[in-house]
């Protein structure tokens, strides 16, 4: 089926897609209207999703240059996971959010992930409370049908969690939510949800509010991923998929100790997933080649990770990619795929109506030729700039129909060096005795 035969777009969906693309970010909806290529990569991640659905675990690193489509790919896989009945959490790492720290950044990451927790019926995040209520409702139905106490049913269903780190307190918090639910105690319910979101900061507050001795802190973020994966399973969902973007922020940490601590958490995830220790849990981490390959500061600087993530030498020798390994390098888009992408963008701009196309097919090939003449093969590797420039071109033509697309294509300036021209940013970590800050 060609893109020309696709259904028309609603104005709201069309505007949302174009606004995101013009800003250089991934649209939250409507990805199916512009997706091209990546067939083998998507097939590999579909296999990971099926593994999680069957009770296993998966771990993948998605590696690509800035603007190569990592975030788009992550969002596409997230949509597929939601359709399969998985619960997803997603967040970008930043100077204030990382996997492990001593200054609150680990807990900040977990809190952000829980705010973005999504289900098929709530794809935009904020689904934690509904998941807890679904679990409590099912426990109440089970208790009524078997003539049991609801608290005892909750304890039975969460018994597996008590074997894990912080699992007993996790079960106690869910029971506290039930007590608040039963007695219409909104404050108790709110405190339980706050604990699950990682919003408590001291043991004293957690004990006073819920009678538990632990809370989500910088050192146990990964442990709570495992708890949440089992809990959502008990709530009637298939499992949990954790998606982290901008992993390059770990690479930019100036403190070696801070980098190593975070890389150790990644090693824990990888080992648990590959050894079958984790269940109903998947990880998808997106980063740049430097984040992976740099032998001084990247993942390859940590020997245990390098040996596990090293590229298949036989696949490399044959000039192919091994999609069964933990690392997937996003392949460059071919000229044919980029042409299809521009056709899709033209169709989205016209709301799916080919009568409203602003430029003919000749304009698409001329635009690609212009890109290649100006920036060479870089536009294959980083389609973000090409996409943004093409959408800008169509926007100008829409607002100024008297202009000629031939003249505009010659004049348009595509700044593909914007990323390489930016000074490298390093994060000075408080673990080295200083305040967290940026240094250029």
Helices 167-183 and 221-234, packing angle to 10 deg: 50
Residue 437 reports pLDDT greater than 50: no
Place 381 in a pLDDT band, splitting at 50, 70 and 90. low
What pLDDT does 382 receive? 66
- Tell me the torsion sign for CA atoms 31, 309, 66, 264: positive
Rounded Cα distance between 375 and 391, Å, is 18
Place 401 in a pLDDT band, splitting at 50, 70 and 90. confident
Tell how strand 57-63 and strand 281-287 pair up. Answer: parallel
Tokens representing residue 168 in the block: 């007993």
DSSP letter for 163, please: G
Q: Mind listing the pLDDT tens digit for each residue in 29-64? A: 777 778 777 788 989 999 999 999 999 999 999 998
Residue 292 reports pLDDT greater than 70: yes
CA 4 and chain centroid, separation: 30
Give the chain's domains with CATH numbers. 1-37+333-419 (no CATH), 41-120+235-324 (3.40.50.300), 128-210 (no CATH)
What pLDDT does 379 receive? 52
Please indicate, yes or no, whether the overall pTM of this predicted structure exceeds 0.75: yes
Q: What is the mean predicted confidence (pLDDT) over 291-305?
A: 95
Rounded Cα distance between 388 and 383, Å, is 9
Tell how strand 87-92 and strand 437-439 pair up. Answer: unpaired
Strongest mean pLDDT among 180-184, 316-320, 327-331, 389-393: 180-184
- The residue among 290, 312, 242 whose CA lies nearest residue 270 is 242
Tell how strand 327-329 and strand 57-63 pair up. Answer: parallel
What pLDDT does 406 receive? 83
What pLDDT does 250 receive? 96
Q: What is the mean predicted confidence (pLDDT) over 158-185?
A: 94
Tokens representing residue 422 in the block: 């930016």
What pLDDT does 436 receive? 41
What pLDDT does 188 receive? 96
Q: Mind listing the pLDDT tens digit for each residue in 211-265? A: 999 999 999 999 999 999 999 999 999 999 999 999 999 999 999 999 999 999 9
Sole residue written with tokens 């939250």: 28
The mean-pLDDT minimum among 35-39, 129-133, 275-279 falls in 35-39
In DSSP terms, 97 is beta-bridged to 94
List % helix, strand, coil for the chain (3-state, nearest 5): 60, 10, 35
Percent of the chain with pLDDT over 90: 57
Q: What is the mean predicted confidence (pLDDT) over 124-140?
A: 95
Q: Mind listing the pLDDT tens digit for each residue in 340-366? A: 888 989 998 888 887 788 889 888 888
What pLDDT does 311 receive? 87
């Amino acid at each position: 089926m060609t893109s020309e035969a696709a259904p028309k777009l609603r104005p709201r969906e069309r505007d949302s897609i174009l606004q995101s693309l013009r800003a250089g970010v991934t649209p939250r909806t409507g990805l199916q209207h512009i997706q091209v290529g990546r067939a083998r990569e998507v097939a590999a991640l579909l296999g990971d999703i099926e593994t999680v659905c069957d009770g296993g675990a998966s771990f993948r690193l998605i590696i690509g240059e800035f603007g190569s489509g990592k975030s788009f790919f992550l969002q596409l896989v997230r949509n597929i996971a939601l359709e399969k009945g998985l619960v997803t959490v997603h967040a970008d790492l930043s100077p204030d959010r990382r996997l492990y720290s001593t200054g609150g950044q680990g807990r900040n990451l977990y809190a952000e992930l829980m705010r973005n927790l999504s289900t098929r019926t709530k794809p935009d995040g904020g689904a934690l409370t509904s998941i807890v209520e679904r679990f409590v409702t099912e426990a109440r139905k089970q208790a009524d049908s078997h003539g049991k106490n609801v608290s005892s049913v909750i304890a039975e269903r969460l018994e597996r969690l008590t074997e894990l780190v912080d699992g007993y307190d996790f079960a106690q918090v869910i029971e506290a939510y039930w007590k608040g639910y039963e007695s219409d105690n909104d404050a108790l319910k709110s405190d339980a949800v706050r604990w699950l979101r990682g919003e408590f900061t001291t043991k004293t507050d957690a004990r006073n509010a819920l009678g538990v001795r632990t809370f989500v802190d910088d050192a146990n973020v990964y442990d709570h991923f495992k708890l949440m994966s089992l809990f959502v399973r008990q709530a009637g969902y298939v499992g949990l998929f954790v998606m982290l973007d901008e992993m390059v922020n770990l690479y930019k940490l100036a403190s070696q100790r801070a980098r190593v601590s975070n890389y150790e958490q990644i090693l824990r995830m990888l080992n648990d997933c590959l050894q079958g220790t984790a269940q109903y849990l998947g990880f998808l981490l997106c980063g740049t080649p430097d984040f992976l390959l740099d032998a001084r500061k990247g993942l390859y600087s940590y020997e245990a990770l390098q040996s596990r993530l090293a590229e298949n030498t036989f696949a490399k020798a044959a000039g192919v990619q091994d999609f069964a390994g933990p690392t997937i390098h996003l392949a460059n888009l071919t000229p044919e795929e980029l042409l299809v992408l521009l056709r899709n963008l033209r169709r989205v701009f016209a709301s799916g109506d080919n009568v409203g196309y602003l430029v003919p097919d000749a304009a698409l090939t001329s635009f690609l030729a212009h890109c290649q003449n100006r920036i060479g093969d870089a536009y294959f590797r980083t389609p973000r700039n090409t996409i943004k420039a093409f959408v800008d071109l169509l926007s100008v033509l829409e607002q100024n129909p008297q202009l000629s697309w031939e003249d505009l294509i010659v004049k348009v300036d595509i700044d593909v060096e914007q990323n390489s021209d930016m000074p490298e940013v390093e994060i000075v970590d408080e673990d080295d005795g200083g305040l967290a800050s940026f240094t250029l």
